[in-house]
Structure 1
Amino acid sequence: MPNRPLEDLAGFSAAQVALAVAATLGAAFIRGLTGFGFGILLVPVLALALTPVEAVLAINIMAGLLALTEIRLILREAERSALTIGALVVLATAPGLMLLDATPPDLARLLIALIALSAFAAVLAPKRGPEQPGVVTTAAVGVSAGLLTGFAAMPGPPVVPYYVGRAIPRMTAKASMIGIFGLAAMAGIGSGTALGVLEWRIVVLSLALFPLVLLGNWVGSLAFGKVEDAVWRTCVGAVLGAAAIAALVRLV
């Protein structure tokens, strides 16, 4: 049997693995810097090499493992609203994954890219006061984030404005988002398993990429808090917008 270490990593080609490595490292850096952006950045890119379902499940596995390494930060710094939103995300994730599985791959890739593009506008929206939004708004954020978790591994578009768009400490916003995204990832993994769409080769690929996630997240965390807030928001928004536009261009 010929030796092809990169040609058959759990059934993925060398080109697919190379794209996954580069995209994962970059997305993990942004996640470490901001507390969000991992799925928003990575899904549109991975979905060009893998099927949308494979991309979403792989990212959920990596994001879930990463959140477990930061559990102390979450418990210490997160806002109470994160628990409510996280619980609703868990309930709404399975319907989102079922919708993704029933959507043609090309249409799913387009919708995922558009979802990522929406995060660009959300991050750059003007800041509000520190007051926590009401029950209806909080519930809407949780349900929509759950649906987007299942469909695109992207709970970020509704969650990011909820926290980053308010005048609260950056660490509180980051820890709250990390906690919600961790629960979202776990829900995505559970839903994929229950629906029978989580294959072992996706697990293998995710575990192989996870050391890169840890590395990129660590480097990004070193830069967290060392830039002014306005610069931080602008840079992150620009990265998110560029990722979504790149995915759209590839689709066209």
Structure 2
Amino acid sequence: MISQLLLLAAVTFGAAFIRGLTGFGMAIILVPLFGLIVKPTEAVFLGILLQVLIGPVGLKIILADAHKQSALLISGFAVLATPIGILLLQHTTPDVARLMIAATAIGAFVLVLLPQRGALRPGPKETALTGFASGILTGFAAMPGPPVVPYYLRQPIPPEEARASMMLVFFITAITGTIASYVLGLAHARLLWLSLLLFPSVLLGNWIGAKCFGKVRANLWRSFVAGVLGVAGISAVIRLLN
């Protein structure tokens, strides 16, 4: 039990560092790797809880820098779709769930590599579809990021705006995922206590990552984001095959 907790804490620290630096990535890294240590349903709920706990940290800056119109529209559709994702998870076998979660991380990597769009922001239809897909993935894998990250990173906007907008969406979807998980019976008290034990690792990793943000050029930051997605997806597949 102690060794398992230490392993979970180490993974949590690394994922939280990525979150602090890029604005996303915690769940994309946590859930596939957690799912190899605990059951996929437990990994998903732990990922959701840890995002709720870290969400208020730096919220004032997030609200100041985020593009609220798009972030709130995405979050609204994600709230509606999250219970669908949880129901899908509950009716999926663990091995299939692990494979689909790993595939989701790789899919996000591919989307980020697509060329940037023009100066115009995405329209309401694309924004709504992004939110709906994000909600399903929140419930199924605690990973709202794969649709949201390409949505913002493919726009020619400053990293500060992209990072803050993603963080705002992820905080709202994490709250929704927590409530829906309790209502639909995915959560239990042991996972709540485990998330509290892991929270110091999240705080430390996120703090160090946030300190590093802004010290690299925008193009290098975007390349690092893409690399994080790729490594997370490939690592999950390799561990799953082993």
Q: TM-score, normalised by structure 1?
A: 0.92
Q: Which residue of 2 aligns with 1:6?
A: none
For the residue of structure 2 that corresponds to 1:197, the secondary structure is coil
> Mind listing any 5+ residue stretches in structure 2 that lack a counterpart?
none
Q: Which residue of 2 aligns with 1:44?
A: 32
Q: 1:192 aligns with which of 165, 174, 181?
A: 181
CA distance in 2 between counterparts of 1:78 and 1:233 reads 17
Q: 2:131 aligns with which of 134, 137, 142?
A: 142
Deviations 1:117-153 (A, max 9, x none): 1121222322223422111101100000000000011
What is the percent sequence identity of the aligned residues? Answer: 49
Deviations 1:189-241 (A, max 9, x none): 00110011201111011111111111101101111111122222222222221
Q: Which residue of 2 aligns with 1:234?
A: 223
CA distance in 2 between counterparts of 1:83 and 1:171 reads 17
Q: Which residue of 2 aligns with 1:106?
A: 95
Q: 1:91 aligns with which of 73, 80, 89?
A: 80
Q: 1:28 aligns with which of 16, 23, 42?
A: 16
List aligned pairs for 1:1-252, cutoff 5 A: 13-79=1-67, 80-252=69-241
Alpha-carbon distance, 1:22 to partner: 1.1
Alpha-carbon distance, 1:244 to partner: 1.3
Answer whether contact 1:124 1:233 (CA < 8 A) is retained. Answer: no
Answer whether contact 1:16 1:50 (CA < 8 A) is retained. Answer: no
For the residue of structure 1 that corresponds to 2:115, the secondary structure is coil
Alpha-carbon distance, 1:78 to partner: 1.2
Q: TM-score, normalised by structure 2?
A: 0.95
Answer whether contact 1:19 1:46 (CA < 8 A) is retained. Answer: no
Task: Tell me which amino acid in the other structure corresponds to 1:225.
Answer: G
Task: Tell me which amino acid in the other structure corresponds to 1:61.
Answer: L
Alpha-carbon distance, 1:82 to partner: 0.5
Task: Tell me which amino acid in the other structure corresponds to 2:14.
Answer: G
> Mind listing any 5+ residue stretches in structure 1 that lack a counterpart?
1-12
CA distance in 2 between counterparts of 1:191 and 1:15 reads 31
CA distance in 2 between counterparts of 1:130 and 1:90 reads 28
Structure 1 or 2, whichever has the larger Rg, is: 1
Task: Tell me which amino acid in the other structure corresponds to 2:153.
Answer: V
Task: Tell me which amino acid in the other structure corresponds to 1:111.
Answer: M
Answer whether contact 2:25 2:228 (CA < 8 A) is retained. Answer: no
CA distance in 2 between counterparts of 1:15 and 1:165 reads 40
CA distance in 1 between counterparts of 2:193 and 2:163 reads 29
Task: Tell me which amino acid in the other structure corresponds to 2:137.
Answer: L
